[in-house]
């Protein structure tokens, strides 16, 4: 039984390339590259040469001011949000520019314009899904981090209160807490004000119900 021939990977790649549907001529490849650069929705860099770098940086700062990332992962997701939104916001201008050029042209390529608008719509839908997915990931991570911080602060405040009652100085780091004593004290005071407010509301509601019951009984 004869051995199977060893396949030539170079020959296979060459044969496959002959059936490629992409641009083959230098002119076609240049046009394809120019189209990709023109809309930049798939480019690695979010800012096109024709766009304002300062405006992009201000755009990013707004996202960082809103979400205030506290970890490398949150920073990465916030940057992805900003970049996705920047690309997404570019689409209406691309559509308006396309329609404007089509309106000025003597011979309008209706089919070409329709294909381009359809392509922009697909990119817009993809970027919107990407934005929502990234936003959900960021919110879940931040919600978990803030909830964990709240629990740790409650524990640290409770331990600190015990030390104060016993007259013993307390170092939060000895229990693995990353908070300073002023942070713990501020949290404890805040919780005390909230608890007092809730107790006051409950007392006022109880008195109102008691008075209402007395009025009903006197009818």
pLDDT tens-digit map of 95-133: 887 777 766 654 556 677 778 888 899 999 999 999 999
What value does the mean pLDDT take over residues 149-168? 90
Q: Confidence class of residue 165 from pLDDT cuts 50, 70 and 90?
A: confident
Per-residue model confidence (pLDDT) at position 58: 98
- pLDDT at residue 17 above 60? no
The pLDDT tens digits for 29-82 are: 434 434 444 667 877 889 988 899 999 999 999 999 999 999 999 999 999 999
CB 82, CB 60: distance < 8 Å: yes
Q: How far apart are CA 184 and CA 163, in angstroms?
A: 13
Whole-number Å distance between alpha carbons of 138 and 67: 9
Dist. CA 85–CA 42, nearest whole Å: 13
Two structure tokens written together for 27: 């002119």
Packed helices 181-217 and 110-166: angle between N→C axes, nearest 10 degrees: 90
The stretch 213-217 carries a mean pLDDT of 61
Q: Which residue has the higher pLDDT, 123 or 196?
A: 123
Give dist(CA 86, CA 128) in Å, integer.
11
What does the block give as tokens for 33?
Answer: 């590259």
Q: What angle do CA 118, 136, 82 make, to 5 degrees?
A: 65
């Amino acid at each position: 039984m004869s051995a199977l021939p060893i396949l030539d990977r170079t020959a296979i790649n060459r044969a496959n390339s002959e059936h490629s549907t992409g641009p083959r001529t230098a002119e076609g490849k240049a046009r394809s590259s120019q189209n990709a650069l023109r809309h930049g929705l798939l480019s690695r860099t979010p800012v096109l040469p024709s766009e304002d770098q300062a405006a992009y940086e201000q755009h990013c700062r707004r996202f960082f001011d809103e979400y205030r990332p506290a970890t490398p992962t949150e920073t990465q997701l916030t940057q992805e949000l900003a970049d996705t939104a920047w690309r997404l916001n570019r689409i209406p201008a691309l559509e308006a520019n396309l329609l404007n050029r089509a309106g000025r042209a003597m011979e309008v390529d209706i089919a070409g314009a329709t294909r381009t608008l359809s392509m922009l719509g697909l990119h817009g839908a993809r970027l919107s899904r990407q934005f929502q997915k990234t936003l959900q990931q960021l919110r879940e991570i931040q919600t978990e981090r803030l909830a964990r911080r709240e629990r740790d602060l409650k524990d640290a405040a409770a331990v600190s209160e015990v030390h104060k009652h016993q007259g013993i100085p307390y170092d939060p780091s000895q229990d693995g807490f990353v908070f300073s004593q002023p942070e713990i004290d501020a949290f404890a005071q805040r919780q005390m004000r909230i608890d007092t407010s809730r107790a006051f509301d409950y007392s006022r509601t109880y008195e109102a119900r008691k008075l209402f019951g007395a009025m009903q009984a006197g009818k």
